[in-house]
Each structure stands twice: as C-alpha cells, then as structure tokens.
Amino acid sequence: MRRPILAPALTATVLGIALSAPMLPAQQVPPESPPPIYPMMSARGASHVLRTGWDYIQYEEYERALKFLREAETRQSELSDAERQTLKQGIERAQRGMREAVGGANRSYAVSGSRRAGAIALAPSARDPKGTTPAPVVPR
C-alpha cells in the first residue's frame, strides 16, 4: 500500500497563507499623546508633576525640572489658573537656570568643591570652639 503524499496539500496551504498575508491590513493604533518621559509621570496628577518640577528647580537641576514642567504643560487641562501661572513661571525659571548653567556663572549647591571621598568632618570640642583641634581618640 502506498501512503498518500501530503506535499501538494501542504504546498497549497503554505502558498495560500503567504499570499493572503500582504492583503491583511496591519492594525495600527494612532498615538493619542507622546509617551511620558518618566513612566510613572502618567500615574501622577498634573499638580504633583508640577510640584516635582519646582522641587528640582530648588535643587538647581534645571534640565530635569524642565522635563517635569513640560509634562505638566501637556496636561494643563487638569491644572487650576493659579497652577497654570506657576507652571509658566517654573518653565521660565528652569530655562533661565539652564542658560546660566551654560555660562558657568553659578555652581550647583549639590556639587562638592574640595572634599574628598571618605573625608571626616570633626565637631568642635568644648575646649576649642573653632574646631581646629581634632578630638582625642579613646582606646577601646
């Protein structure tokens, strides 16, 4: 007995699938808005993102502050009039801070100057209020 040959049936199936694939339209979802810079920003309210942007301005991290403020700007409909005004002021201040940082006028407070890693700061003792004499080491 001969077994039936499956090659013609298999070839016809493969050709049918291959030729019908280009005819199927690709499912594309139009983007509603650009994805957030930080994924957790979308979970936070616009007011929270605005406050976080102002926090970074106070830390003198203007580029990061501007990212948060721009995200709040895309969601202005959630903000009150006073918050919109604060948003505009924050964006202006962050941009000004970035321009000043390029000029090198002021250094960020977070950047350490001459301190080395592992340096120990000594507290002033009762005998020396200026703190120039190191505290004595007590043996164990």
Q: Domain residue spans in the chain?
A: 35-103
* Residue 29 C-alpha from the chain's centroid: 25
What phi and psi, each to the nearest 5 degrees, are found at residue 138? -95, 125
Q: Check the CA dihedral 134-135-136-140 and report its sign.
A: negative
* Alpha helical stretches, state H, the chain: 7-20, 46-58, 62-74, 81-103
Rounded to two decimals, what is the model's pTM?
A: 0.49
Q: What is the pLDDT along the chain (140 residues), one digit of tens a residue?
A: 566 666 777 777 777 776 665 655 556 655 565 555 566 666 788 999 999 999 999 999 999 999 999 999 999 999 999 999 999 999 999 999 998 877 765 555 555 445 556 666 666 666 655 655 555 666 66
Give the amino acid at 123: A
